[in-house]
A and B are shown apart, each in its own frame.
Chain A
Amino acid sequence: DTEVTQTPKHLVMGMTNKKSLKCEQHMGHRAMYWYKQKAKKPPELMFVYSYEKLSINESVPSRFSPECPNSSLLNLHLHALQPEDSALYLCASSQRTTGVMNTEAFFGQGTRLTVV
């Protein structure tokens, strides 16, 4: 199994809603990532989890709250989002080695989020 599975594929939410994005992998990868991608732009890193601990937060607003409950799961909790947060949210994972992670990254299909 070399898949990173993201759910839901599409999500429309109001600015007062609370929702969660889910990402799952069963490759034994210990590094997991959240990216945000606006149309016709490259992905932008939001968070990195390494061994289930948050290792990088790219100054993401607190209305985005990541969670890594175990080594296979990564969630992104959303609350009080703005229309400009509408984007494709991509999850990725890679094998964690000592030091730099120079191993292949596997990406999910993404969740297309629309905030209304």
Chain B
Amino acid sequence: KNEVEQSPQNLTAQEGEFITINCSYSVGISALHWLQQHPGGGIVSLFMLSSGKKKHGRLIATINIQEKHSSLHITASHPRDSAVYICAVRPFGNEKLTFGTGTRLTIIP
């Protein structure tokens, strides 16, 4: 079992829909990252969370440390949001990020 599990693996939605991507992890962490990767490669860091909730534009990320669970929400989704969204955690006492397998999001106009 992976230390970081994401769901769903693939998600297709209509433009304007509210999107939720989930991330569960099994170890104690000092931080959780949500990353976005478009086709062609480059990774953009969306959020880094250690507690609570963060919002940036149409993106909202929440984390529940007790339940070892985080969600990434996208409001009013747009085709340009189509990308792979990756959850990554930094376990306590570890310099390395542990990555989830990603969620491939496709927004249809």
Q: How far is the CA of A104 from the CA of B100 in the complex (A)?
A: 17
Name the contact of A48 in the complex, choosing from B41, B42, B92, B96 (C-beta under 8 A).
Answer: B96
Which residue of chain B is the closest to A104 with respect to CB atoms? B48
| Inter-chain contact A45/B97, CB cutoff 8 Å | yes
B43, B101, B102: the one contacting A107 at CB < 8 Å is B43
Knowing A100-B90, A100-B92, the reply to whether A107 touches B99 (Cβ < 8 A) is no
| Candidates A43, A55, A109, A110; contact of B95 at CB < 8 Å | A55
Taken together as a complex, chains A and B put the C-alpha atoms of A103 and B33 apart, in Å, by: 9
Which residue on chain A has the smallest CB distance to residue B101?
A42
Q: Which residues of chain B come closer than 8 Å to A112, judged between CB atoms? A: 41
What chain A residues lie within 8 Å of B93 (beta carbons)?
Answer: 99-100
Q: Which of B35, B42, B50 contacts A108 (CB 8 A)?
A: B42
A55, A56, A101: the one within 8 Å of B90 (CB):
A101
A11: Cβ under 8 A from any B Cβ: no
Contact B45 A45 (CB under 8 A): no
Most buried by A among B30, B41, B50: B41
Q: 3 closest pairs, A vs B, by CB?
A: A109-B42, A42-B99, A107-B43
Query: Chain A: residues with CB nearer than 8 A to chain B?
Result: 31, 37, 41-43, 45, 48, 50, 55-56, 88, 90, 92, 99-110, 112
Name B's A-contacting residues (CB within 8 A): 30-31, 33, 35, 40-45, 48, 50, 86, 88, 90, 92-97, 99-102
